[in-house]
Structure 1
Amino acid sequence: MLRIAVTGSPGVGKSTVVAKVAKKLAGQPGFKIGGIQTAEIREEGQREGFSILDLATGKTGTLSHIKGSGPRLGKYHVNPETLERIGAGALRNALSCDFIVIDEIGPMELISGSFVAAVEEVLESDKPVLAVLHHSSRHPLARKVRKEFEVLTVNVKNRDELPEKIYNCFASQPL
């Protein structure tokens, strides 16, 4: 069972790398991908927050935004209800899929005990996993992922070739 996590500086392209791998794997006939994907919410060229997407169902919601009332992390307010309903729910449902994506295991997501528990369920499964890991998190779950996964650091020099490299690793495994 192959498990890879990508890490790197904010904005370097970690989520883009994972999205490219997931898209290519999803193109295989009869292959089902589950889990979550995050994306920036931009307004007038400025990052205003992050959305979260359930890859299996297409459900989406606002994970965090600069305008909000949830717990504050940096300049963003995290939406715990969306994180639990879409994030944790998508990870639990992904246990019935062939491949699981977790974008991201970071401070915003780790606010939710339900999300942490869902990630732990994924880690206890025998499913192949591709995750984005916050570069400096010291949370016990992040430490566990660093210990159990092959961790690749995304940077400006390798971010264009990493999706193909990671795809080939998973494609060469019996999924």
Structure 2
Amino acid sequence: MTKKLLLTGRPGCGKTMLVKRVVNELALPAGGFYTEEIRERGGRVGFKLVTLDGKEAVLAHVDFKTPQRVGKYGLDLSALEIIGVEALRAAVRARKLVVIDEIGPMEIRSASFRDVVHEALDSGAPILGTITARPFPFTDAIKKRRDLALIEVRPDNREQLVSELSEQFKR
């Protein structure tokens, strides 16, 4: 059976950290991206995409004056589409472990991103990703899929999940 695991939970609960630790522990060929905070003077000012092969692009920033916005952040969906979507497509084509961090309110604004998420989920490639806990039609439909496991990350279970998730992919 193909392994498709999506982590969900409150913001700041450790989803991204958990994905990074599992990917490092597995040492499998992997591709895709993480989303990381951009912080200045102690506060969050944006988010950047970092691909597993080291490419970076700013997805959202308080200083972006774009029509696409989520909260206080202006979005640069072209950064997601050029860097993130291509990293996911390449990982699916190569049958690598596909890392998607995150399927969230910013990312789902992109039709190309939504398409590649479906391509990845419908492929035979193993998937380790994160998905927003907030309700959106696109993410709610993904959470209802029977071919994936949705795992809630909490501060009290995230340490034990490193080994449990790693074991899922080793089987």
Letter of the 1:98 counterpart: K
Whether the 8 Å contact between 2:131 and 2:139 is mirrored in structure 1 is: no
Whether the 8 Å contact between 1:9 and 1:135 is mirrored in structure 2 is: yes
1:52-131 to structure 2, matched below 5 A, reads: 52-55=49-52, 57-70=53-66, 71-95=68-92, 96-131=94-129
Q: Distance in 1 between matches of 2:26 and 2:30?
A: 8
Q: Secondary structure at the match of 1:155?
A: coil
Q: TM-score, normalised by structure 1?
A: 0.90
Whether the 8 Å contact between 2:33 and 2:50 is mirrored in structure 1 is: yes
Q: Distance in 1 between matches of 2:120 and 2:43?
A: 34
Letter of the 1:25 counterpart: L
Residue by residue over 1:23-55, the C-alpha shift from the partner in whole angstroms, topping out at 9 and shown as x without a partner, is 2223xxxx3101111111111111111110121
Letter of the 1:162 counterpart: L
| Aligned counterpart, 1:51 | 48
Shift of 1:141: 4.5
Shift of 1:138: 2.2
| Aligned counterpart, 1:17 | 18
The runs of 5 or more residues in structure 1 that have no matched partner are none
| Aligned counterpart, 1:163 | 162
Residue by residue over 1:96-127, the C-alpha shift from the partner in whole angstroms, topping out at 9 and shown as x without a partner, is 14211100001100010011111111112101
Whether the 8 Å contact between 1:116 and 1:141 is mirrored in structure 2 is: no
| Cα pair distance change 1:165/1:54, threshold 3 Å | same
Q: Distance in 1 between matches of 2:76 and 2:148?
A: 28
Q: Pairwise CA RMSD of aligned residues?
A: 1.4
How many aligned residue pairs are there? 167
Q: Secondary structure at the match of 1:161?
A: helix
Q: TM-score, normalised by structure 2?
A: 0.92
Q: Distance in 1 between matches of 2:76 and 2:119?
A: 22
Letter of the 2:34 counterpart: Q
Whether the 8 Å contact between 1:106 and 1:137 is mirrored in structure 2 is: no
Shift of 1:170: 0.8
The runs of 5 or more residues in structure 2 that have no matched partner are none
Whether the 8 Å contact between 1:51 and 1:62 is mirrored in structure 2 is: yes
Whether the 8 Å contact between 1:6 and 1:152 is mirrored in structure 2 is: yes
Whether the 8 Å contact between 2:96 and 2:125 is mirrored in structure 1 is: yes
Shift of 1:142: 4.1
Q: Secondary structure at the match of 2:159?
A: coil
